[in-house]
Amino acid sequence: MISDLANKVEVTGYPDTAARLATGQCDVGVGYADIRRDFETNWTTEWNQENIWKQTDVIGVTDKIMNDTISISNKLVDADLKKALQRSFIEIAKTDEGKEAISIYNHTGYKEVTDADYDSSRKVLDMLKNKQ
């Protein structure tokens, strides 16, 4: 259980998670698949550790979880505008100019999703709530 861990801290994001793992402020960190790759340099230079790949390990993997979203309020946008925005972002991301524009976010494209596509995220959230 999470409550059994000696070093529990609230983190503000993935960089904070990696930093707190490196400095021993927490025992377990939750992150995306590439978190160790993205903070490998910080691990040795900024946080004075030896090797992130030898000092950390993966203890679990969830189903796919949606990354960044383009979200709207159903209270402010009608169904026609919602559909037009969806199509626009999806089509823009298929063009060379669009790919370049969204690459700053490490995005490669967009797709329509449904509420059910977030079930795996809810499952993880429920699991974490039950472990506290």
Any residues with CB less than 8 A from the CB of 62 and at least 6 apart, and which? Answer: 120, 123, 124
Whether 48 and 84 share a structural domain = no
In a domain, 69, yes or no: no
pLDDT tens for residues 22-72?
Answer: 999 988 899 988 999 999 999 999 999 999 999 999 998 888 877 788 999
Q: How many residues does the chain have?
A: 132
Contact 90, 111 (CB under 8 A): yes
In a domain, 110, yes or no: yes
Domain that holds residue 7: 2-55
Q: What is the reported pTM?
A: 0.66
pLDDT tens for residues 74-109?
Answer: 899 999 999 999 999 999 999 999 999 999 988 999
Any residues with CB less than 8 A from the CB of 46 and at least 6 apart, and which? Answer: 19
Q: How far apart, in whole angstroms, are the C-alpha atoms of residue 38 and residue 15?
A: 9
